[in-house]
Structure 1
Amino acid sequence: MDIFEVIGILEALKEDKRKHWVHPLYKKRLSIGQFHTLYPELRKHPEKFYDYFNMTSHTFDELLKSITQYIAKNNITRDTLCPEERLTITLRTSELVALVAVSCTLFLFLHTRDLSTKLRQMQRLNDDVTAFNHLTDRTQTDRIEHAYASAQEYKEALEALRRNTGAERSKPQRTLESEVARSEEVEQEVQEELYPEPWELNNTARSEVELLFFNRVPKVGSQTFMELLRRLAIRNQFGFHRDAVQRVETIRLAPADQQVLVSLVSAHSPPASYIKHVCYTNFTRFGYPSPIYVNVVRDPVERVISWYYYIRAPWYYVERKRAFPDLPLPDPAWLKKDFETCVLSGDRECRYLEGETHEGIGDHRRQTLFFCGHDPQCTPFNSLEALQRAKRVVEQQYAVVGVLEDMNSTLLAFERYIPRFFQGSLRLYWEELNTFNRINRNAFKPPVSEAVKQIVRANFTREIEFYEFCKQRLYMQLKALRDSSITLPATTSNLPHIQNNYYNYNHV
């Protein structure tokens, strides 16, 4: 055999394909494996194939063709998987990894703020912590003596230690009082981070026209606010308008009457203000720009007591008689009846039953009605739906809802959130305090015992909840300003929970 025959044999061997041993499991997979049952079924239904692989069968085939040479290696060191199954596992695993990555990103995003706050708090509390853990000179000396081999090194280290120890002791040491103060400071900073920014609570920007609409609630000091607004109109140069005195005050209006009111109010040239006893009215519903809504609330029980004696005051009927001469005078026995007797005797006028829609004499017991609106669902007294609707309207529509019991906070919020109309209101109020205090003051209103008030409060649960909601919102608006010169009442020192109470209610 010559050299050429040997070369020919070798070339033939090179061209001969290598035979691989096929694992028995591979053949079993091909016949009864789950994938090899699923894959042909998916190929028959293009929509199911796309849902499973997130690609068409044509795209899958092209991808498989381009990578088959890298994944189709059958030998005893690899799992006996066909190329189609290897590619499927790769695609499905990548989807799982992507889902886990997105979930982790979302989790970190939600908890980053809490973690950063806690880290800042820990950093402040650990500042200069060595001041609490000083060892005696002798203890530190013993430690350094063991740490250094030569006497010279020990001497240098000892001298440096004494200098550092003296410097530390010359610093003001942290006492329990200072630690408490530091902790309170950190807590205050953490609390401030919980409050929203002023623009998040400022509905003034939502108004489309410089028109202030004060749909005043009766017996919340609205006469005082009306006089204050009249004087501010001169100072701040805007129009002042109010509705005329009526024989019967209608606060709930039919849709046609609402449209008349909206067109009447909107007819005033801005900047202007309009004041009227009426329920919240949606201007945009009738195609008019939304005004700046404001109002004031009062403790519900104190308000109904005030109304009870207001409509029995002699001067009230003198004014009414002058305006409407044919108005009949009330029964003297009714005029003389005091509030405590009315409540304790179970008089219908003072029972305040939940769900009542008509109180007969119009005692304005439903403060929520002025914020809920004109719908029939707003009329039942102390109802849950009226409460939730009123809360939603206050949150979404009203620039500021003041509180009669806290004039400082109320006028300050009016000034800061609606400066175009209320600039200088706080100073003007205190300059003319004696004048404002005499407005609608009722000298014929006797004191009412706390026991009787508690009886009445039991039926005003949701009205009281709404009042507290408005008060918390007012203080949150001031807190959001982050102005150190603003001093809130002592009762608001536990305000961190207010944000939860303010936002966590069920909308109806």
Structure 2
Amino acid sequence: MIGQGRNAPTAEWNSRDTVVLYNRIPKTGSTSFMGIVYDLCRSNHFNVIHVNISRNNHYMSLWDQLHFAQNISNWVQRKPAVYHGHVVYINFKRLGAKNPIYINVVRDPLERLISYYYFLRYGDDFRPYLSRRRKGNNETFDQCIRRGGKDCNVSNLWLQIPFFCGHSADCRIPGNPWALSKAKETLLNDYLLVGITEELEDFVLVLEVALPSIFAGAMETIKSGAKFSLRKTLNKVAPSGETLSLMRENNIWKMEQEFYEFAKRQFHFVKAQFLNGIPSSIGTQRKRYPVAYHYEKVKPKLE
């Protein structure tokens, strides 16, 4: 059995070259999560870079995709790094580059939309005095639904699927079954981990074990309470049962809900396998995390 000695393989790749891309979805707890990342960057010696797309667009042109892929691949002075921004999935391999380590968080789609609706009007407790785009518009979500308003239109639910589907034109078509299938495929094949807002702390826990070069100390940061608390949207009014029933009758909601449930099942599956037997004090015992495989019958012997 191979497991020790100078010729034994290492379990970690070169952490100096690590590039993590968190293509964060609005109103999923991303600001709370990034507070932890920014808090860790100095002690863990990595860079944090926000990708700010012009005009709050979630899509990049082909030219921007090529430039971005080349930039984060070759910007040696800023490695290791965590990039974050509201941008849909980019297939770097299609552009001739190596994919970064993708991570993300998803949320119940209807809860996310309602939270965003009131956020546009009242903001949140993170920056309560900042003037928002819909300031002065006190219409409730129920009232918006009754008059057929734009901000509460069911097509606005179509967001998390496109974020995983990517830059293909068909990803943008609300209710497109192909986009749902593609989003699931991308989540499984190209993301290290996708958590859910409701279990954000567990998402951080798995990341600390999986990527200690970046996330070591994350759970201690959470326990200290200094950098971790979910932002609360102000003046949010719970929708009526009638409104909820109306939204849930739509195929767009059904597809977004299916994707969310798919992501949640996968996260629970990964979490249960990955954290099985992990001691609570992972900060001191992470290196003892046992692997459930070994190498044997390796020929020829190395001199």
Same fold by TM (over 0.5)?
yes
2:139 is aligned to 337
Q: Structure 1 residue 371: deviation in Å? A: 0.6
Contact 1:211 1:271 in 2 (8 A): yes
Normalising by structure 2, report the TM-score: 0.77
Residue 19 of structure 2: which of 211, 229, 234 is its match? 211
CA distance in 2, matches of 1:309, 1:384: 29
CA distance in 2, matches of 1:484, 1:454: 42
1:480 is aligned to 273
User: Which ranges in structure 1 are unaligned for 5 or more consecutive residues?
Assistant: 1-203, 322-328, 354-362, 488-508
The count of residues paired between Structure 1 and Structure 2 equals 262
Contact 1:219 1:303 in 2 (8 A): yes
Q: Structure 1 residue 462: deviation in Å? A: 0.9
Q: Matched residue of 2:160: which SS?
A: coil
CA distance in 2, matches of 1:319, 1:442: 13
Q: Structure 1 residue 282: deviation in Å? A: 1.4
Q: Matched residue of 1:401: which SS?
A: strand
Q: Matched residue of 2:228: which SS?
A: helix
Larger radius of gyration: 1
1:183 is aligned to none
CA distance in 1, matches of 2:63, 2:120: 30
Output aligned runs, 1:367-378, within 5 Å: 367-378=160-171
CA distance in 2, matches of 1:237, 1:320: 35
The amino acid of 1:412's aligned partner reads: L
Q: Matched residue of 1:218: which SS?
A: coil
Output aligned runs, 1:345-360, within 5 Å: 345-353=147-155
Residue 122 of structure 2: which of 282, 289, 313 is its match? 313
Q: Structure 1 residue 471: deviation in Å? A: 0.9
Q: Structure 1 residue 472: deviation in Å? A: 0.9
Q: Structure 1 residue 293: deviation in Å? A: 0.4
Deviations 1:381-416 (A, max 9, x none): 232111110111111110000111012321222122
Q: Structure 1 residue 457: deviation in Å? A: 2.6
2:41 is aligned to 233
CA distance in 2, matches of 1:220, 1:340: 22
2:188 is aligned to 395
Contact 1:279 1:369 in 2 (8 A): yes
Output aligned runs, 1:48-447, within 5 Å: 209-244=17-52, 248-266=55-73, 267=75, 269-313=78-122, 319=130, 332=136, 335-353=137-155, 363=156, 365-432=158-225, 435-437=227-229, 440-447=231-238
Deviations 1:160-185 (A, max 9, x none): xxxxxxxxxxxxxxxxxxxxxxxxxx
The amino acid of 2:174's aligned partner reads: F
Q: Matched residue of 2:260: which SS?
A: helix
CA distance in 1, matches of 2:34, 2:138: 30
Output aligned runs, 1:495-506, within 5 Å: none
Contact 2:102 2:190 in 1 (8 A): yes
Q: Structure 1 residue 232: deviation in Å? A: 1.7
The amino acid of 1:456's aligned partner reads: M
Q: Structure 1 residue 310: deviation in Å? A: 1.1
Q: Matched residue of 1:258: which SS?
A: helix
CA distance in 1, matches of 2:105, 2:240: 25
Contact 2:122 2:135 in 1 (8 A): no
Q: Matched residue of 1:312: which SS?
A: helix
The amino acid of 2:66's aligned partner reads: Q
CA distance in 2, matches of 1:477, 1:336: 42
CA distance in 2, matches of 1:424, 1:450: 43
CA distance in 1, matches of 2:159, 2:107: 12
CA distance in 1, matches of 2:221, 2:80: 20
Q: Matched residue of 2:192: which SS?
A: strand
1:500 is aligned to none
Contact 1:212 1:291 in 2 (8 A): yes
The amino acid of 1:422's aligned partner reads: F
The amino acid of 1:436's aligned partner reads: F
Residue 456 of structure 1: which of 241, 244, 247 is its match? 247
CA 1:413–1:482: 2 relative to 1, 3 Å? closer
User: Which ranges in structure 2 are unaligned for 5 or more consecutive residues?
Assistant: 1-11, 281-303
CA distance in 1, matches of 2:206, 2:34: 17
2:285 is aligned to none
Q: Structure 1 residue 255: deviation in Å? A: 1.1
RMSD across aligned C-alpha pairs, in angstroms? 2.9
Q: Structure 1 residue 314: deviation in Å? A: 5.8
Contact 2:221 2:228 in 1 (8 A): no
CA 1:485–1:260: 2 relative to 1, 3 Å? closer
State the percentage of identical aligned residues.
29
Normalising by structure 1, report the TM-score: 0.47
1:125 is aligned to none
The amino acid of 1:464's aligned partner reads: Q
Contact 1:241 1:275 in 2 (8 A): yes
